[in-house]
Chain A
């Protein structure tokens, strides 16, 4: 056993850091480091910049234009990007539909779709959930009926993250009404510009617009947009969910947020002394830092097992639960750190370009909104209750 990164891995990390130092401009970093809104154009611009450097697919094999990095290098890359305040890369193309197309897609689909994900030309969104099919995904009802060379799609998807910017949506649809729930599902790629697709915003509790309903009304989808075999979509869905959870521990971003919390605690005062020196607060901060330290090693254990076995196992559920608990605890402590100034809620102050009159310290402006928003983390991507069911069934065999 050796918990140190190899000299090669350390050199790699230095290379990534040097790259970030050179290419991430201070305005690009600022939004992420200060917890402000990152405009969608910035996310795309960052994908393009990475692509120009040959790093557009950090988790992709070289045969599809990716970097070919092993899980440890992927992790080091993500960690360095998060620490530097790089915009988060969109997972929908890179980590979700991309791997599915590589594994199950036709040559034509691979040639058509994969390069445009790397280059940032196509923005993808994930169309799995429906109003009546959340945790019980297999009960989904959006239907696709074969009509010659195309499918006719009807139904409604819900909670679709950033669908308002998306060019494409990958959907689970029911192609066989008669068979058992998991059996009649297919994986279909749908152009968001198709006639009959409607996107309606769902406003979140922090006032933000990041999720949407997507409605399909007699949408004609070419049959060539089916990925893999008809009625075998559940296999692909499970494959994808494993990948979706693989980096869900969010160690890199939690480390960055921990540093932000420490900066805030050093700047805030309690009884005229820095809050960081307050024993009550210091103990709570230390607890999160310790939890994160443990999770980082657990994460590396899972990654190195993954490097050997190649597909992420049910251990990813553990990472998801602990990772989101830590993310949420950090937002809670940041809010608590600023006392009464946590409560003012000015949406406009979350925009990096905000030039209005500040109230309270600048670091306080986004904290309440972020705390509220991050409640989503234990709900999406398979709720934490569902993840515990997976641990109980698949790891413990109960």
Chain B
């Protein structure tokens, strides 16, 4: 057993960190957040050049998957920089779904373009009332016209406004909460009948509700076999959980660093506030949360694509629970220890706090994963 990175992995981590440190500082990120689109195509292009958009894409389509550790170190670096581009949604979830379900023709049409940064492809799986259940799908797809007709509403679709293509889960058979009968469709974002209600999320990333009003699609819009998309969706989400855990560790590290740094320089009562033992203990607790989260993000990376489903799910849920609790504690305490400055938008700490908040509530919150951990253990 060992926890060492290979020479190449370490080099990759350094490259990504250096690139983001140089080009994606606090002010540069702010400018991106305030822009109309809310993400930077230029940054996206550079991520493609660095090969980072190809980490989930198999070599025959221009990628380098499988790359669990590479993904982990990349997301850690992105977490530190609070990257807002559609990496999780397109480069992780989108790539995984196309790779798992796409026909050779669909994969060839999409994956190289995704690796090169020319296409943004994001899943649209959530619905109102479904919370974090991927199997609760009310959106329908019926055969009609030249292929399929989709109708329904997808909720809080991360990075939908940036997407060229949406991967929409829709029911082709069964009751609203059946595991069987869910299919995945590739829906061009600008198809007639597709309407987006766009908005920023609390952490500044963009999302939208996607309204599908009898959207007519060709027969080739279906990805994978009819009615059996759920396992691939769940597998992609598991991969996403591992990625999110790695990102969280990066954000947590940046948050703790900002806090130790601030308390060393901020003086009250004639001394740096870091001298107060109660704050030292608080930061010690933050560090323990971070290290436990880091351990679980390693575990998550190692099992993200494992074949033993029950074991994989239990471990990924355990990781998300530990990470979610760390996000909560470290985020709140970092703000607290910054005093009034912590609740302004002026310093990075509140931006970290909000990203940690969003991570905790993405791909299943702590409670969802606690429940899944229990259920999978039965």
> Which segment of A221-229, A241-249, A340-348 sits at the interface?
A340-348
B49 smallest CB distance to A (angstroms): 31
Contact B199 A383 (CB under 8 A): no
Main SS at interface, chain B: mixed
Interface residues on A, range: 35 or more
Q: Which single residue of chain B is at the shortest CB-CB distance from A388?
A: B278
Q: Cβ of A26: which chain B residues have Cβ within 8 Å of it?
A: none
Cβ distance A1 to chain B, nearest Cβ, rounded Å? 36
Report Cα–Cα, A148/B340, bound state, in Å: 37
Task: Take A271-B133, A345-B202, A379-B336 as given contacts and tell me if A207 and B345 are in contact as well, using a CB distance cutoff of 8 Å.
Answer: yes
Over the window 345-363 of chain B, the binary record of Cβ atoms lying under 8 Å from chain A Cβ atoms (1 yes, 0 no) is 1100010011001100110
Residue of B nearest to A280 (CB): B367
Cα A340 to Cα B361 with chains together (Å): 7
Say whether A339 contacts B131, CB under 8 Å.
Answer: yes
Q: Quick check: B367 and A336 within 8 Å, CB to CB?
A: yes
Q: Does the CB pair B358–A343 fall under 8 Å?
A: yes
Assess whether B344 is in contact with A205, with CB atoms less than 8 Å apart: yes
Q: Which of A271-298 contact B (CB under 8 A)?
A: 271-272, 280-281
Task: State which of B128, B133, B276, B357 has its C-beta within 8 Å of the C-beta of A341.
Answer: B128
Find out whether the CB atom of A343 lies under 8 angstroms from the CB atom of B361. Answer: yes
A371 CB to nearest B CB, Å: 7
Q: Is B302 interfacial (CB-CB < 8 Å)?
A: no
| Majority secondary structure of chain A interface residues (helix, strand, loop or mixed) | mixed
Chain B, interface size category, equals 35 or more
Taking a contact as CB atoms under 8 Å apart, the answer to whether B365 and A339 are in contact is: yes
**Which of B131, B155, B342 interacts with A379 by CB under 8 Å?**
B342
Question: Could you give, for residues 331-374 of chain A, a 1 whenever the CB lies within 8 Å of some chain B CB and a 0 otherwise?
Answer: 00001100111111110000000000101110000001101110
Compute how far the CA of A346 lies from the CA of B206 in the bound complex, rounded to whole angstroms.
Answer: 11
> Whose C-beta in chain B lies nearest to the C-beta of A272?
B177
Interface flags for B91-104 (1: CB within 8 Å of A; 0: not) read 00000000000000
B215 to chain A, nearest CB (A): 19
Return B34 CB to nearest CB of chain A, in Å.
Answer: 12
Interface assignment of B225: CB less than 8 Å from any CB of chain A:
no
A269 to B203: give the CA distance in the assembly, Å: 25
When distances are taken between beta carbons in the complex, the residues of chain B under 8 Å from A373 are 343
Docked complex Cα distance between A304 and B207 (Å): 52
Q: Which residue of B lies closest to A369 (CB)?
A: B202
Q: Are A359 and B361 in contact (CB under 8 A)?
A: no
Provide 14 A-B residue pairs closer than 8 Å at the C-beta atoms, listed in order of the A residue: A158-B340, A204-B345, A205-B342, A269-B129, A272-B177, A281-B367, A340-B131, A343-B207, A345-B202, A360-B155, A372-B353, A373-B343, A375-B336, A376-B340
